[in-house]
Amino acid sequence: MSASLFDLFTAETCPAEFGIMEEAHKNYQALTLHFLNFDTAVTEEDCLEAMQAYLKAAVVARAAFKARFKPAQGIRP
């Protein structure tokens, strides 16, 4: 399943988990952008912690999706 198709199905199947994952991803992107623009308030450690939070949220969202998604008969996920 492609990433965008996965996102679509996850957003419909597990909106809470998907929202948390998306928020963590936005936070990671924002911190990384600030870090790369030499913002001294953001450290590499901040970026790595945000990345870990995003990866954990993605694992939770994928697990929730796999637990709740019921494909139509004859269709494999």
Q: Answer yes or no: is 76 within a domain.
A: no
Q: Answer yes or no: is 38 within a domain.
A: yes
* Structural domain containing residue 55: 13-68
Q: Answer yes or no: is 3 within a domain.
A: no
Condensed to tens digits (0 to 9), the pLDDT of residues 21-51 reads 999 999 999 999 999 999 999 999 999 999 9
Residue 18 backbone zone (phi > 0: left; psi -120 to 50: alpha; other: beta) = alpha
Rg (the chain; Cα; Å): 15
Our count of domains for the chain comes to 1
Tokens 């952008």, residue? 33
Angle made by CA atoms 36, 58, 6, in degrees to the nearest 5: 110
Q: Answer yes or no: is 52 within a domain.
A: yes
Condensed to tens digits (0 to 9), the pLDDT of residues 4-28 reads 777 888 888 899 999 999 999 999 9
Task: Copy the structure tokens of residue 41.
Answer: 């308030």
